Structure 1
Amino acid sequence: MAAKAENRKHGFTIAHEVEKRIRLRSRRLFDPSLDLRYLEALAESLPGVQRARTNKWGSSIVIEYDGNPANRARILNLLENIPKDAYMPGGTGQGAISLPTVGTQGAVAGLTPFMPAEAAAPTSWLLGMPTMLEGLHTLLYDGVKVEVLDASAVAFSLLRRDYFTANAIVAMLGLGSYMENWTEKKSDELLKSLLRPQVEKVSVERDAREVRVDFTDLAVGDLVICGSGELVPVDGVVVDGDAALNQSSITGESLPVHVSEGDSVLSGAVVEDGRIKIAAQNVGRETSMARIGRFLENSLRTRSTSQKKSDELADKLVPVTFALGLGLFALTRDVTRAASVLTVDYSCAIKLASPVAVKTAMHAAGHCGVLLKGAQALDNLARIDTIVFDKTGTLTRGNLKVTDVLPLGGGSDAELLALAAGAEEHYSHPVARAVVAEAEARALPLPPMSQVDFIVAHGVSAYVEGEQVLVGSRHFLEDDEGVDCSGVEALGRELRSGGKSLLYVARSGKLAGVIALRDELRPEAGQALSMLKERGIRKIVMLTGDHKDTAQSIAADLGCVDEIHWELKPEDKADLLRELQDAGHFLAFAGDGVNDAPALVSADVGICMPGGADLAREAAQVVLLEDDLRLLAMARDLAANTQHVLTRSFQAAVGINSAILLAASTGKLSPVVSAFLHNASTLGILGYAGMAGRGAKATKTRSNAANRSQEK
C-alpha cells in the first residue's frame, strides 16, 4: 500500500527496482513539449547518479545510481517536480530508436524475399505502420516535413506490393535514425563530461567538531569553515572569524577586503588571510560552481541564429521534394520512380550537422580552457570585429609588484624595504607577498620582529629592537596611529598618477618612507592582442577607471590598442559599448567584476575571466577556464573553423542530395538504392561535422609552444 501511495504521489510508477537501479513509468514522458534529453541531463547532475536514459515509446526512464536512499529520494523528487525549463514550446522530446529494433527491422527486410506472400504482406504492413502513422501525424499537425516523405515512400512501395523495398526503406530509416541519434548523443555526452565540481571536499562544523564532507552533501544552514588559501564554496553570511577576502573579481579592486561577523560572502572568492565560519545560504545547484553545469545543460538544446536559418531553409526544401515525387507519379504513373524521389530529403543532414558540429566544438573548447554557453556564443565569436577589454583583472593579473622604494630622513631603500618585509613576512596578503618577494629578490636580511599584530585589511604593527614599526595604508598610519604623512602628499600624487598603490612605513611614530606597488600586466597580454589582430579583429579598445597617465602607459606597454577610455564609472562602460554598436561594430567585451555585468550583457559576446564574479559568469556567453588571454585567439579559431565546417556541410547536403534526387527523378535509382545513398551521405556529413573541434588542440599546442619560447 505504501509503495502504491508513493507511486501515485510522484506520478511515476516504479516498474522495477534493484540495488543501484530504478525504472519508472509515466505517461508524462509522452508530453511532446518535454525535452527528454534535458530531463536525462538533470537526472545525471544529481548526486550519486551515474546514468539516466529515457524510452518515450516505453514511457519509462531508467536511472542508475549509487544506491544511497537520500539520492533515491532526490531522484523521485526531481521526477515529481520536473522544472519548467525542461519543457519547450513546440516539443523536442523525440524518442530515439533502440538498437534491438534496428536489428529486427534489418532481419525482417533481409528475410522478406524468402517469405511466402501470405506472410510477407501482413509482416510488411505491420513493420511499416509506425512510419506511416508518424508521417500522418506530422502532416496533420506540422505540415509537410521529412516524416511525410518517409511515410509516402513506404506507403507507395506497400501499395504496389513491393514488400522488400518497403521493408528495406524502413530498415535503412531505422538504422539512419539510430546512427544520427547516436552521433548527437555522443556529442551531448562530450559536453556532459565537462560537468565537474570545482570543489570536492569542504570543512563544516557538525556536533561542535570540524569535519570534511563532500561538496554535494552541503545543505542550507551548514556552517562552512574556510581558511587561508581556500575557495569559498557557498554563498552565505560570516558568523564567526575575521579574514581578508580576495574579491577582486567582484569589486575590480586589486586589494582584498576585510570581512567579519555579519558580512555577506559570495562563492568563488578566496581567503587570503584569516579564518571564517560561513552560514550557507546557497548551496549545490545555486552556487556558481554548479552554474557551469546548468550552462552546459542548456547548451545541449540551444540553437544559434545561423542554425535556425539553415533549419528553416531545410524545411522549405521538403515540400519541394514531396511535390516533385507526386508530380512524377502524376506524369509517369511510375510508383517506383516516385518512391525513389521521396526517400531523399535535405532536412536530415542540414539539421543534424549543426548541433553535432557545435557541440563537438564546445567540447573541444572546454578541454582547451574555454566555456562556451551555447551555439549562439560560437556563432557570434566568428563574427566579431571589435574587442573591448576592461583593464583590471583582464589585461592585468590583479597581482601587485614593488616599483619604487622611497626612504625618508636619510635612510637607505634597502633598510626601508627590509624593515617593511620583516613586519610583513608572515602575513598572507597580496601587498605583503609583493614586499617580501622584492626583499628576497634583493637578498636582503630581514630584522627580527616581535609582538607582530595583523590588523586585517589595514596593516601590520610589530617591534624591532624595542621600536614600534607600522606598515600599511595612509589611513591606518595617520588616522588610526597618529603618524604625520602630510610631507609626502606631492610624492603620493605623482606616484598615483602612474597607476601605483602606496604602502606607508613608520618607525617610532615617524614616517620612514613610502613603497609604491603596481598591478602587474599579464605577460601574455600583448601577444594575445597581436594574435587577435591576426585573426581579423580590426579594433581593440581598453577601458579603465584609472587616471589618464596610467591608462596611456599600460596601453603603450601592450601595443595593438586602438582606443583608450579612462576614468570611467561602471555604468559608463555599457554606454560606450552601445555607442560602438551604433557605429556598426560587432563586438565582444572582456571583464570579470560585478560592475562589468551591464557591459557583458550589452556586448554581442560577453567574455568573463576565470576568476570572475558570479554575476559576471552568469552574464557572459564565454568564460575562460584558464588564466591565459591567448585562449581567446584559440576560441576565435575554433568558431571560424566551425562556421567553415557548417558551410561545407550545408553545401555537401544540398549538392549530394540534389544529385541523388536528379538520378532518382530520371529513373536511374531504385527506392532501395536511393534510400541507401541518402542515408549514407547523411552519416558521412555527420562524421565530417564531428570534426569541428579538430583544430583546437593544435591551436593550443602552438600557443603553449609560443609561451615556452617567450619564457626562454
Structure 2
Amino acid sequence: MFFIRVYKGIIPYNFLIAGLAYFFTRNFTKAASTLLVDYSCAMKLSAPISVLSAMRDCARNGILAKGGKFLEEFAESDTIVFDKTGTLIESNPVVKKIVVFGSRKENEVLKLAACLEEHFPHSLARAVVNEAASRGLNHKEEHTKVEYILAHGIASSLDGKKLRIGSAHFIFDDEKIPLTKEADDCINTITGCSQLYFAIDGELAAIIVIEDPIRKESCAVIKKLKDSGFKNVIMITGDNKHTAKEVAEKTGVTDFVAEALPDTKVSWIEKLKKEGHKVVMVGDGINDSPALSAANVGIAMGKASSIASETADILLPDDGLDSLPVLRKISRNLISRIHGNSRAIIGINSALIAGGLAGSITPQMAALLHNSSTVAISVNAMSSLD
C-alpha cells in the first residue's frame, strides 16, 4: 500500500531532523519539538481509517473486498478482462433449438444430454437440464460414471456406447469426432449463441444451440469503465469467433479472444502483465479460477462458483455488474484521499517543525497542534467515498 511505503520511509527523517536541530542549536527544547511532531503518526492513523471507510462503502453497496491492497490495485488498473457467460451475458441462458443429425429424435438426444449435464454446475448445463424438464423428459441414471473434463466437456457411456458432450474443441479436436459438411454448414449459420456438441459412439448426434441474453446493463457498464480510465476492455470466451464477435460488438468491448481454454485465459493475462498493464479479471466459473488468481485483481460475480469466489480478491453482489463502476469510484477516491491526507500531514507538520526550530512555538504547543491535526484528518478519513 502507498501509505505504508510513505510512513515507513519518512520515520528516519524525523530522527535526522531532531539530531540536526540539536547538533546546530545545542537546544534540547527545539530538538524535542521536532520529535513531538511525527509525520508517520498521522499517516498510520488516517490511511488505515480511509481503507476501512472504503471497505465499509463497498459493503454498503454489496461488494466484498478482501483487503485494501486490492482496492489500490483496482484503482490503478488500466486493463479489465471479462469472461462472457455469467458476466457480460445473463447467467440463465435457455435452449433456443436443437439440431439433430441422422435418424435420431430431438427429445431422445435432449434426454441423454440432460442426463449428463445434470452433474455439472454450469449455466449452459442448467439450460439443457431445464429444457428437458420443461418438456417433461424424465431421465434415469442408466449411464456409467460421468467424467468431467474441465472447460472441455463431459464423457460417459450407455449400453456400451460412448457419450460425449461439450465444446467444439473437446468434440472435434480431443475426441476426434468427424465434422460432416452438413454439421459444418449448420455451425456457420449460428451466430450470437453458444453451442454444445453432443456425440454418440463416435458420431456427432446433435448441436444444442443455447441463447445467451446480453445483460441490459453491460453496454452502460463498459462505457463507464472506459470513461473511468480502463484503456483495454477485453472479453475472453470459450465460444467460437462468430458468437464472440457478435457479443463484443453489442457490448462495446475493445477486443476479444474466442475458443479460449483456462490456460489460454491465464496466458493472455500473463501476456498483458508482461506488457506493463495492470490487469483485472472478472469471472464466475470454475474454469475462470486460474485467471482470477493470475490477475492483479480477481473479481467474482455474486453467483460465482465456490472455487471462483474463494480465489477472487473482490466479490460483487448477485447480478452485480453495475457495481464495477461504483467499485472503481470508491477505489480511486480512496487513493485520492490517502494522497491528499499525506500532503496535508506533511504540510502541517513541516510548518510545526519549522515553528519549533525557530522558537516561535513551544514543544507543548507543537504537540497539541500536531495531535489536533491528526485527529481532524482521521475524522475526515471516516467520511464516505462512494
- Other-structure match for 2:307: 615
Give the residue type in structure 2 aligned to 1:645.
R
Write the distance in 1 (CA, Å) between the matches of 2:196 and 2:338.
Answer: 54
In structure 1, C-alpha distance between the alignment counterparts of 2:29 and 2:17, rounded to whole Å: 15
Shift of 1:591: 1.6
List per-residue Cα deviations over 1:560-618 (Å, max 9, x = no partner).
x1111111221111111122222222211112223222222221111122222333233
CA contact (8 A) 1:394 1:609 kept: yes
Q: C-alpha separation between the residues in 1 aligned to 2:55 and 2:142?
A: 41
Deviations, residues 333-366 of structure 1 (Å, cap 9, x unaligned): 4x44443333211110122221111111012112
Note closer, same or farther for the CA distance 1:395–1:646 as it changes in structure 2 (3 Å cut).
Answer: same
Q: CA deviation at 1:381?
A: 0.8
**2:235 is matched with which residue?**
542
1:588 match: secondary structure: strand
Deviation at 1:317, TM superposition (A): 2.4
How many angstroms apart in 2 are the aligned matches of 1:514 and 1:546? Answer: 14
Q: Distance in 2 between matches of 1:495 and 1:578?
A: 34
Alignment of 1:453 with 2:138, yes or no, is yes
After superposition, the Cα gap between the structure-2 partners of 1:487 and 1:595, relative to the gap in structure 1 and judged at 3 Å, is closer
Q: Are the aligned partners of 2:7 and 2:40 in contact in 1 as well (CA < 8 Å)? A: yes
Provide the rounded CA distance (Å) in 1 between the counterparts of 2:341 and 2:192.
53
Select which of 75, 78, 88 maps to 1:395. Answer: 88
Asked if 1:665 is matched to 2:357, the reply is: yes
Q: Match for residue 309 of structure 1?
A: 5
- Separation in 1 of the partners of 2:286 and 2:98? 34
Distance verdict in 2 for CA 1:340–1:579, change over 3 Å: closer
Q: Which residue of 1 aligns with 2:376?
A: 684
Q: 1:646: which partner in 2?
A: 338
How far, CA to CA, are the matches of 1:537 and 1:319 in structure 2?
A: 42
Instruction: Return the alpha-carbon distance in structure 2 between the equivalents of residues 456 and 492 of structure 1.
Output: 31
Cα distance change on mapping 1:324 and 1:686 into 2, 3 Å: farther
| 1:583 alignment partner in structure 2 | 275
Whole-Å Cα distance in 1 between the matches of residues 307 and 4 of structure 2?
A: 29
TM-aligned CA distance change 1:378 to 1:406, over 3 Å: closer
**What is the rounded CA distance, in whole Å, between the counterparts of 1:515 and 1:670 in structure 2?**
82
Number of residue equivalences? 331
Deviation string 1:367-394 (CA, Å, 9 cap, x unpaired) is 2122212121011111111111121222
Residue among 237, 248, 251 paired with 1:555: 248
Q: Indicate conservation of the 8 Å contact 1:365/1:372, yes or no.
A: yes
1:361 aligned partner? 54
Worse-matched range after superposition: 661-670 or 527-536: 661-670
1:526 Cα shift? 1.5
Q: Is the 8 A contact 2:78 2:229 kept in 1?
A: yes
Are the structure 2 counterparts of residues 402 and 618 from structure 1 closer, same or farther at C-alpha, using a change threshold of 3 Å? closer
CA separation of 1:583 and 1:401: change in aligned 2, threshold 3 A: same
- Aligned 8 A contact 2:192 2:247 in 1: no
Contact 1:386/1:538, CA 8 A, preserved across alignment: yes
* 1:695 corresponding residue in structure 2: 385
For residues 189 and 131 of structure 2, the distance between their equivalents in structure 1, rounded to whole angstroms, comes to 17
User: 1:522/1:644 Cα in 2 relative to 1: closer, same or farther (>3 Å)?
Assistant: same
**1:601 pairs with 2:297:** no
CA distance in 1, matches of 2:89, 2:132: 19
State the SS of the aligned residue for 1:398.
coil
Retained in 1: the 8 A contact 2:83–2:282?
yes
Asked if the contact 1:328–1:665 (Cα under 8 Å) also holds between the matched residues in 2, the reply is: no
Q: Structure 1 residues 500, 605: CA separation in 2 closer, same or farther (over 3 Å shift)? A: closer
1:569 aligned onto 2:265: no
CA distance in 2 between partners of 1:338 and 1:490 (Å) = 84
Q: Is 1:521 aligned with 2:214? A: yes
- TM-score (ref. length: structure 2): 0.74
Identity %: 31
Q: What's the TM-score once normalised by structure 1's chain length?
A: 0.42
Indicate the residue corresponding to 1:382 in structure 2. Answer: 75
Q: CA deviation at 1:646?
A: 0.4
Is 2:18 aligned against 1:318? no
When residues 500 and 595 of structure 1 are mapped into structure 2, their CA distance, relative to the original with a 3 A threshold, is closer
Report if aligned partners of 2:18, 2:31 keep a CA contact under 8 Å in 1: no
Q: Label 1:429 to 1:382 Cα distance change in 2 as closer, same or farther (>3 A).
A: closer
Could you say if the C-alpha distance between residues 338 and 502 of structure 1 is closer, same or farther in structure 2, counting changes exceeding 3 Å? Answer: closer
SS at match of 2:230: coil
Aligned partner of 1:318: which letter?
A: N
- Could you tell me whether the CA contact under 8 Å between 1:372 and 1:623 is conserved in 2? yes
- C-alpha displacement of 1:329: 4.9
Query: Structure 1 pair 434/533, CA: closer, same or farther in 2 (3 Å)?
Result: farther
- 8 Å contact from structure 1 (residues 597, 616) kept in 2: yes
Match of 2:154 in 1: none
Task: Give the direction of change, closer, same or farther, for the CA distance of 1:689–1:542 in structure 2 (3 Å limit).
Answer: same
What one-letter code is carried by the residue in structure 1 that aligns with 2:60? Answer: H
Say whether 1:346 aligns with 2:39.
yes
Decide which of 65, 89, 111 is 1:372's aligned counterpart.
Answer: 65
